[in-house]
Amino acid sequence: MIGLVLFIALIGFTMGRTRLTWAEKFLHDTFGAVQSVLYQPVGAVAQFVRDMGRLSEVYRENEVLRQTVARYAQDQMRYNFIELENERLKRALEFTERQKQLYRYRYLIAQVIGYSSDPYNRSFRIDLGARDGVREKMAVQTVDGLVGIVSRVSEFTSTVMPLTELDPNSPTAIAVSATALGKESKTFGVVDAYDRETGLFRMSRIDPDDPLEEGDIIITSGLGALFPRGIVIGTVVKKQVGDFGLTLTADIRPASAFDHLTEVFVVVVPDMDLAETEAP
């Protein structure tokens, strides 16, 4: 009975916390060191075996990629011109240093070192920690799109909460403000839930007059400046009227897989305070 009371106290106490004590950090880091030795080699072997099994598919994929690269080369030139012009305009309009630095994100490449086997908390661990500049609530993405949010940080490793844990009813709820690719100024919604039963995200609080359509690619909007903008979340599969009939909700198919990950990027948003003190 005393045990039960103690456990409920422990669970309640550990629920809203984000900081870790030194003991937890120590455990994280020691286990992280060994996990990193195991996870990556095993992953390499597993991927090699899988790749051997789908050689023909790789061949076709290669074709598609070559076309994409050709298109990228064209876009790169366009992008360079636009960026130059953008810089010039920002100077002409006397943007502050803070505004200029706003979208200059840094990407830290991290290796995944282990997965939790708790079905209601599919967190995974990465091999970068506070020492490498990782902080809580940073976005984590793969080349395909957003996968999660850094939830705990210790010195050498950190824990990432995948987006599949999004739940508006949870006491630790997090929501991602989002918009549609190509309709950035007209569309706005909040991705705040993942439905385990269908495998889809839900984007809510969409305006009834919103031009959002099925097949649109949903990206992070970056509004609020805590979360970087322009990371792909997924594709709209269905749009419907929300719970109270005032707003719309959309179902979104995730762009990125959440398992068998090896390499992820932690997106570092420029530190606002730092930029301001550096500005003349």
Partner 1 sequence: MKLRIHRTVAAALVLLLIETAVLPWLVPAAWSDRILPHFPFLVTLFVALTAGRHIAFFFGLGFGLLQDVLFYGHLIGAYAFGMALTGYLAGLAAYRLRPVPGLYVSMTALGGFVLDMIVYAIYRLFQVTTVSPFFAIEWQVLPTTVVQAALAAMLYFPFRRLLIRTVPASASQGSDERSASG
- The footprint of partner 1 (CB under 8 A) covers 3, 7, 10-11, 14-15, 20, 24, 27-28, 31, 34-35, 38-39, 42-43, 45-46, 113-123, 125, 151-152, 159, 161, 164-165, 167, 169-172, 196-197, 257, 259-260
Structure-token match 């970068």, residue found: 128
Residue 179 burial (C-beta neighbours within 10 Å; 0-12, 13-18, 19+): buried
Q: How far is the CB of 101 from partner 1 (least distance, A)?
A: 33
Q: Which is nearer to partner 1, 101 or 158 (CB)?
A: 158
| Cα–Cα dist 74/167, whole Å | 41
Q: Which is nearer to partner 1, 169 or 277 (CB)?
A: 169
Residue 249 burial (C-beta neighbours within 10 Å; 0-12, 13-18, 19+): buried
Q: How far is the CB of 36 from partner 1 (least distance, A)?
A: 8
Specify which residues 108 forms β-bridges with: 266
Q: How far is the CB of 81 from partner 1 (least distance, A)?
A: 41
Q: Which three-class secondary structure state does DSSP give residue 163? A: helix
Q: How far is the CB of 55 from partner 1 (least distance, A)?
A: 19
For 205, residues 6+ apart whose C-beta sits below 8 A from its C-beta are 188, 189, 190, 242, 247
Q: How far is the CB of 71 from partner 1 (least distance, A)?
A: 29
Q: Which is nearer to partner 1, 63 or 197 (CB)?
A: 197
For 121, residues 6+ apart whose C-beta sits below 8 A from its C-beta are 161, 165
Residue pair 226/268 in contact by the 8 Å Cβ criterion: no
Q: Which is nearer to partner 1, 20 or 102 (CB)?
A: 20
Q: How far is the CB of 34 from partner 1 (least distance, A)?
A: 6
* DSSP character at residue 244: T
Q: Which is nearer to partner 1, 266 or 269 (CB)?
A: 266
Q: Which is nearer to partner 1, 7 or 79 (CB)?
A: 7
- Whose CA is closest to 106, among 280, 278, 275, 276? 275
How many residues are there in the chain?
A: 280
